[in-house]
């Protein structure tokens, strides 16, 4: 990028809020996928108008522009694979409105999800999506990936809580989608089109969220089991028995081992799996649901159900659960994280397949995650130093995807495609689907400046050098 263009960026956001310095560029060159690509410049706008001016500048000069939240994405969505400008949303971090009467809020994309939830608590309200990364990820990143979390089983994922967006399009125009009402069916649902589009169709600058009243009461249970098949089979049974938890999380024994020091009580050596089950609602409702859960657990010989007695215990359980992903690095320096989804009833088959895969390929594989949705995180650990090991990881990933699709599942429940799964999307989507998606991309971004190189396998269209 030449200095003239950078001068224009300076004019748009001010000298303090952009940089071409190598140290700054390094800070925006990676995300949680651990890939690294240096941008040519970094800009931190603080208004929709500044975003629009930056995107217009990029489009007129055919320079890639990549929106960035907290960089916690696991699939390489925020990394500037083709250089250009990283547009950080850090300064777009205002909660603009909380409408208590109509239970909606308007926020900017750089708001940290967990901080938004804390603010809402003061009003007796909640924004339901709760990715495990909520203490540091942004709501803009959540919308762009359609993030999910433990509560999705009862309250849905990000797309279920978003009713409208403001988006800056590739030519700098500002589009408003959706409405402020609970219902609205005027025209195509453009809001849903942008949710999960990974910054490839536009830059989100405002988000209208649906809010819910905070549940009156919540009970947290930890179910430990000496049998992996028994614990995983319980997931579907719990729902069949008319118990609707707001959390139904699962961890296998390797996941338990990496966070065992954080749990309220060290699990016995014979524990093969754990479920975190939470029930919320009125006192009466939670008492009834808890009773059903206790009765069900009592019929399982190898399971023990324990109720968290204090807030501290609940905090410890969640600290352990949210730490699995970073704590997995105790096992090996490299982690390939997949977030496949299968029908709930087939989780036992999936986890036993992963166990066999781990044995056959001699790779450590952890399974844990949002079992209530069938969304299992499969973490393949490796040193990734030898060619042989790298090949084994790719073989494991491919075998996993084949198995999941064979079980009527899907490759990603919440992490998106980015760069790390783009080579595999044709395993799930047929040519017509991919072609229509690429036509949509072309319609919104004919110069392919918006986060190029993501979602679609490398081809003429996704290679920005073909158009930029």
User: Binder to ligand FAD among 41, 53, 147, 320 (CB under 6 A)?
Assistant: 147
- Closer of 325 and 448 to ligand FAD (Cβ): 325
Identify the three-state secondary structure at position 187. Answer: coil
Least distance CB 420 / ligand FAD (angstroms): 12
Site string for ligand FAD, 11-50 (x = CB under 6 A): --------------------xx------------------
Point out which span in 42-50, 73-81, 219-227, 252-260 binds ligand FAD (CB under 6 A): 73-81
| Binding-site size, ligand FAD (CB under 6 A) | 37
Point out which span in 55-63, 93-101, 196-204, 285-293 binds ligand FAD (CB under 6 A): 196-204
Point out which span in 198-206, 212-220, 224-232, 421-429 binds ligand FAD (CB under 6 A): 198-206
Determine if 373 is a binding residue for ligand FAD (CB under 6 A): no
**Structural tokens at position 102:** 């109509």
Determine if 9 is a binding residue for ligand FAD (CB under 6 A): no
- Cα distance between residue 74 and residue 15, in whole Å: 31
- Cα distance between residue 408 and residue 398, in whole Å: 16
User: Binder to ligand FAD among 39, 80, 84, 149 (CB under 6 A)?
Assistant: 149
How far from chain centre, in Å, is Cα 245? 21
Backbone φ, ψ for residue 13 (5° rounding) = -110, -10
Determine if 141 is a binding residue for ligand FAD (CB under 6 A): yes
- Cα distance between residue 232 and residue 351, in whole Å: 8
96 neighbors 106 (Cβ within 8 angstroms):
yes
Determine if 89 is a binding residue for ligand FAD (CB under 6 A): yes
Point out which span in 39-47, 126-134, 225-233, 457-465 binds ligand FAD (CB under 6 A): 126-134
How many helices (H) and strands (E) the chain has is answered by 15, 18
Torsion of CA 294, 295, 296, 298, to 10 degrees: 80
- Closer of 58 and 361 to ligand FAD (Cβ): 58
DSSP per-residue codes, 279-337: EEESHHHHHHHHHHHHHHHHT-TTEEEEE--SHHHHHHHHHHHHHHHHHGGGT-SEEEE
Q: Indicate the helix (H) or strand (E) that contains 276.
A: strand 273-281
- Closer of 145 and 280 to ligand FAD (Cβ): 145
β-bridge pairing 273-281 and 247-252: antiparallel
User: Binder to ligand FAD among 45, 83, 109, 267 (CB under 6 A)?
Assistant: 109
Residue 177: other Cβ atoms inside 10 A: 23
- Closer of 39 and 73 to ligand FAD (Cβ): 73
Kindly list the residues in this chain that would bind ligand FAD in the complex (CB under 6 A). 31-32, 66-74, 77-78, 89, 109, 131-133, 137-138, 140-142, 144-145, 147-149, 198-199, 203-204, 325-326, 414-415, 451
């Amino acid at each position: 990028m030449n200095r003239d263009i950078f001068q224009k960026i300076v004019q748009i956001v001010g000298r303090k809020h952009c940089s071409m310095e190598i140290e700054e560029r390094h800070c925006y060159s990676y995300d949680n996928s651990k890939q690294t690509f240096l941008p040519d410049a970094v800009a931190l706008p603080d208004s929709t108008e500044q975003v629009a001016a930056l995107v217009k500048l990029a489009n007129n000069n055919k320079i890639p522009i990549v929106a960035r939240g907290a960089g916690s994405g696991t699939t390489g969505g925020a990394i500037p694979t083709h250089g250009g400008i990283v547009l950080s949303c850090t300064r777009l971090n205002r909660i603009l409105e909380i409408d208590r009467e109509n239970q909606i809020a308007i926020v900017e994309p750089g708001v940290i999800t967990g901080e938004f939830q804390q603010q809402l608590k003061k009003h007796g309200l909640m924004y339901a999506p709760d990715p495990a990364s909520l203490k540091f990820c942004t709501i803009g990143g959540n919308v762009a990936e359609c993030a999910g979390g433990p509560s999705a089983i009862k309250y849905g994922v990000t797309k279920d809580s978003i009713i409208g967006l403001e988006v800056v399009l590739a030519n700098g125009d500002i589009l408003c989608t959706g409405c402020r009402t609970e219902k609205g069916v005027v025209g195509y649902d453009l809001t849903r089109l942008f949710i999960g589009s990974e910054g490839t169709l536009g830059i989100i600058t405002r988000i209208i969220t649906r809010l819910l009243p905070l549940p009156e009461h919540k009970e947290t249970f930890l179910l430990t089991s000496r049998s992996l098949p028994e614990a995983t089979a319980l997931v579907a049974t719990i729902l069949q028995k008319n118990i609707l938890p707001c959390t139904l999380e699962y961890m296998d024994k390797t996941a338990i081992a990496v966070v065992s020091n954080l749990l309220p009580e060290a699990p016995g050596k014979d524990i093969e799996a754990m479920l975190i089950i939470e029930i919320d609602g009125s006192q009466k409702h939670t008492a009834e649901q808890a009773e059903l859960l206790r009765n069900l657990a009592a019929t399982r010989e190898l399971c023990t159900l324990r109720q968290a007695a204090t807030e501290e215990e609940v905090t410890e359980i969640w600290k352990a659960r949210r730490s699995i992903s970073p704590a997995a690095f105790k096992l090996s320096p490299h982690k390939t994280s997949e977030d496949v989804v299968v029908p709930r009833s087939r989780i036992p088959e999936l986890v036993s397949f992963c166990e066999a895969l781990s044995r056959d390929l001699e790779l450590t594989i952890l399974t844990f995650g949002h079992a209530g949705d069938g969304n299992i995180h499969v973490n393949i650990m490796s040193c990734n130093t030898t060619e042989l090991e790298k090949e084994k990881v790719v073989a494991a990933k491919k075998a996993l995807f084949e198995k999941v699709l064979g079980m009527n599942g899907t490759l990603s429940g919440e992490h998106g495609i980015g760069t790390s799964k783009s080579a595999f999307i044709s395993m799930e989507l047929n040519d017509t689907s991919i072609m229509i998606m690429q036509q949509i991309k072309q319609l919104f971004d004919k110069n392919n400046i918006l986060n190029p190189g993501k979602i679609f396998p490398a081809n003429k269209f996704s290679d920005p050098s073909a158009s930029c």
